[in-house]
């Protein structure tokens, strides 16, 4: 684990740099290669969520993480509106160049971005952790509670000045639990081995199932917003040319359908700290199944739009909450690795979705595609129901805990 601040820098540089250069790609191969690099940069996005999580107090952690995740929806709407405006007049190169601007803006904030005090404490960098905490206290016009900041590595605080004596105890590690510092091996086998250790195996596998199902269903519902109606027209042997008559209609549909995620964000914010993570996710997944169920029997235009709108609302809420739950179940030493691995499994679901489900629509097997989504979402809901513990209101773990 290299720290959230470095992950922040990596994500911003990779996404903005490769994204901007892709606007000047001379051929298809170079374009695909640069977009692949953009994908690698976006894959570091969960680092930002884990970093932010470690600054938020437990009682309101769920709500604030929903607010944090809601900016994904804001970005989706912004990108759809940008494509709707730019593509018809200026083309895809301008769209890619302008889309890289927000990532460049991230670089401006790197200088003032603090490292997580939990991470610093775990690494034994007590003085740096104290500096971050004292700065936070000054900005909020509060005093740090009395006490001493204690590292999980039990490093003595000889180097601390007298002013640093007013410190908060961030974590009470159990006497027999120690954290082994990952000397550059967080991206190797040691961290993955911890994720699959007997203490965390059940939680990790169920979490991977939930991420796979959420990503498969979320991106599938996004694609089906236009693909299902297009597939109906093809199978009804209407004029195929009408499908591609106006690219602007596609951006318009994506723009409008993206607004389904706004009530989803509000809904998840309302319930995540009240009824808990597990019940919130499970209820949203099962409700998504309910919304998709009528499409098994009828796929009229109005019913399709209403059902997909409701399903997207629920699946976006579930996706938001799973990104809150995931970093809460892992100790600080492998938190970023854990959420990154789970997100990677989710990406596999996102890759398989158009290859499997959308292909069924194009081959005039819409009902089979809906049944497949129903099955995946239902199994994801079951996986969530078997999560080993609830994290609502719980403090973040700095050491591994056994789960039954």
pLDDT tens for 339-377 read 888 888 998 998 888 888 777 877 778 888 889 999 999
Q: Which two tokens stand for residue 391?
A: 């994290």
Q: Whose CA is closest to 253, among 232, 220, 226, 224?
A: 226
Comparing 69-73, 83-87, 206-210, 218-222, the range with the smallest average pLDDT is 69-73
- Which pLDDT tens digit goes with each residue over 290-299? 999 988 887 6
Q: Do 223 and 358 form a contact (C-beta atoms < 8 A)? A: yes
Q: What is the predicted pLDDT for the residue at 169?
A: 36
Please answer whether residues 22 and 40 qualify as being in contact, where contact means their C-beta atoms are separated by less than 8 angstroms: no
Task: Examine the pLDDT at 45 and tell me if it is beyond 80.
Answer: no
What is the residue-averaged pLDDT of the chain? 77
Alpha-carbon distances of 169 from 121, 132, 146, 160, 180, rounded to whole Å: 10, 14, 9, 15, 20
Is pLDDT at 125 greater than 60 in this prediction? yes
The percentage of residues in the chain with a pLDDT greater than 90, rounded to a whole number, is 19
pLDDT at 213 over 90: yes
Q: Are 5 and 115 in contact (CB under 8 A)?
A: yes
The span from the first CA to the last CA of the chain, in angstroms, equals 26
On the question of pLDDT at 333 being above 60, the answer is yes
* DSSP states of 243-284: GGS-HHHHHHHHHHHHTTHHHHHHHHHHHTTTT-HHHHHHHH
Both tokens assigned to 378: 């239902």
Q: What does the pLDDT read at residue 151?
A: 62
pLDDT of residue 171: 37
Which is more confidently placed, 285 or 189?
285
Q: Kindly state the DSSP code that residue 236 receives in the 8-state scheme.
A: T
DSSP sequence for 122-181: HTT-HHHHHHHHHHHHHHTT-PPPSB----TT----TT--GGGGB--------TT-----
Q: Which of 29-33, 93-97, 121-125, 293-297 has the lowest mean pLDDT?
A: 121-125
Residue 98 pLDDT more than 80?
yes
Determine if the pTM surpasses 0.85: no
The pLDDT, as a whole number, for residue 249 is: 60
Instruction: Say yes or no to pLDDT of 177 above 70.
Output: no
The residues facing 147 across adjacent strands are: 166
Distance between CA 251 and CA 75 in Å, rounded?
A: 14
- pLDDT at 209 (0 to 100): 94
Most confident among 200-204, 262-266, 268-272 (mean pLDDT): 200-204
Which of residues 59 and 171 earns the better pLDDT score?
59
What pLDDT score was predicted for residue 235?
62
Asked if the model's pLDDT at residue 335 lies above 70, the reply is yes
CA nearest to 102, candidates 9, 18, 14, 16: 16
Question: Which tokens hold the place of 214?
Answer: 């959420």
Residue 148's pLDDT band (cuts 50, 70, 90): confident
The DSSP code for 363 is T
- Provide the token pair at 377: 């979402």
- Mean of pLDDT values over 77-95: 87
User: Quick check: 186 pLDDT over 60?
Assistant: no
Taking 50 as the threshold, does the pLDDT of residue 403 lie above it?
A: no
285 neighbors 111 (Cβ within 8 angstroms): no
Which letter, b or e, does each residue of 288-306 get, where b requires 16 or more Cβ atoms within 10 Å of its Cβ? bbebbebbeeebeeeebbe
């Amino acid at each position: 684990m290299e720290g959230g601040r470095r992950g922040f820098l990596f994500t911003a540089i990779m996404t903005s740099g490769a994204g901007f250069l892709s606007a000047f790609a001379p051929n298809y191969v170079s374009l695909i290669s640069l977009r692949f690099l953009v994908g690698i940069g976006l894959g570091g996005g969960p680092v930002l969520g884990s970093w932010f999580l470690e600054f938020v107090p437990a009682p309101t952690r769920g709500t604030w993480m929903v607010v944090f995740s809601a900016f994904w929806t804001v970005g989706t709407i912004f990108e759809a509106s940008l494509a709707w405006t730019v593509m018809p007049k200026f083309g895809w190169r301008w769209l890619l160049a302008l889309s890289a601007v927000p990532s460049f803006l991230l670089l401006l904030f790197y200088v003032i971005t603090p490292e997580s005090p939990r991470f610093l404490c775990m690494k034994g960098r007590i003085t740096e952790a104290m500096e971050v905490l004292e700065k936070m206290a000054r900005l909020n016009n509060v005093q740090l509670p009395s006490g001493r900041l204690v590292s999980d590595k039990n490093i003595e605080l000889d180097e601390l000045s007298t002013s640093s004596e007013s410190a908060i105890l961030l974590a009470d590690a159990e006497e027999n639990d120690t954290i082994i510092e990952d000397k550059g091996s967080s991206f190797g086998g040691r961290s993955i081995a911890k994720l699959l250790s007997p203490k965390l195996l059940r939680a990790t596998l169920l979490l991977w199932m939930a991420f796979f199902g959420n990503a498969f269903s979320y991106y599938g519902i996004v694609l089906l917003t236009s693909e299902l109606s297009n597939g109906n027209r093809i199978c009804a042997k209407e004029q195929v040319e009408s499908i591609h008559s106006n690219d602007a209609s596609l951006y318009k549909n994506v723009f409008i359908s993206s607004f389904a995620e706004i009530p989803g964000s509000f809904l998840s914010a309302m319930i995540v700290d009240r009824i808990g993570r597990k019940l919130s996710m499970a209820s949203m997944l099962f409700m998504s199944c309910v919304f998709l169920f009528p499409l098994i029997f009828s796929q009229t235009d109005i019913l399709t739009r209403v059902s997909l709108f409701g399903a997207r609302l629920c699946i976006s809420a579930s996706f938001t909450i799973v990104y809150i739950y995931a970093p809460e179940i892992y100790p600080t030493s492998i938190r970023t690795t854990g959420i990154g691995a789970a997100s990677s499994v989710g990406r596999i679901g996102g890759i398989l979705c158009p290859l499997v489900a959308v292909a069924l629509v194009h081959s005039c097997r819409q009902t089979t595609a809906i049944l497949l989504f129903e099955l995946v979402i239902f199994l994801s809901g079951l996986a969530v129901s078997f999560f080993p513990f609830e994290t609502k209101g719980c403090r973040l773990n700095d050491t591994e805990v056994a789960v039954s």
